[in-house]
Amino acid sequence: MKVLDTKFMQGFIKMADDGFRLGWHERNGGNLSYRMTPHEVDSVKERLSDHAPWTPIGAHVPGLGGEYFLVTGSGKFFRNVPVDPEACLCIIELDEAGENYRIRWGLVEGGRPTSELPSHLMNHEVKKAMTNGLHRVIYHAHPTNTIALTFVLPLTDEVFTRELWEMATECPVVFPEGVGVIGWMVPGGEAIGIETSKKMQEYNVAVWAHHGVFCSGSTFDETFGLMHTVEKSAEILCKVLAITPNKLNTIQPDEFRQLAKDFHVELPEKFLYEK
């Protein structure tokens, strides 16, 4: 089967295009990665090249040894993914030690995988272990309103989660575990990847202050929907704060507890503090 004809490739391209159309991927901003299933790898194996050299990942991810990933390329624009996916995307294979990768398909005009590859792979390793392999998508975007909030809210998991939860009743149902927040760090290296993977041990959303958001999920729809819900809540909060810094009405802790009971989710008590 041709790589571009596969369902996983079409889902990947659609997600990249959806994110661009929502304004989350200016220029070459953001990146996306997908851990392929063995069946998907087998379906395109005859289309994969083995001529590219092995290259250090910049991180050690032994839990992903031998795995294949579809990822966006470094410096590539999301707006061009639907137009020329073979130039913007690549399939990479990791060695058995999880220390090196090689390009097996794509980036036909040259280049390398996203500069955030260490962060993506460290997050994939954590989520693969924690979800028994169910999570396969890691998505990094630059949603405007969520980034804006990192300039005005305390950079704590508790405050960020509670404020986002209060903006829309669906939020505690969509991300009941809350969101993690990381203070500003230089992107693209192992250090920020380590800090993000620590947050991913507890959450499916990690906010990078003054930069963007990382989300993890089992499917393209689930992961994109998570990012979309967080950003919609952030947009409402930005509008509320533009009107007044003091909310006249909001969802109270006991109301969150009732919501959790009715929707069969567990909400950590650390987020249900009295204001």
CA quadruple 215, 57, 116, 199: dihedral, nearest 10 = 40
Catalytic residue of the set 67, 93, 116, 166:
116
Is-catalytic flag, 231? no
Active site residues: 116
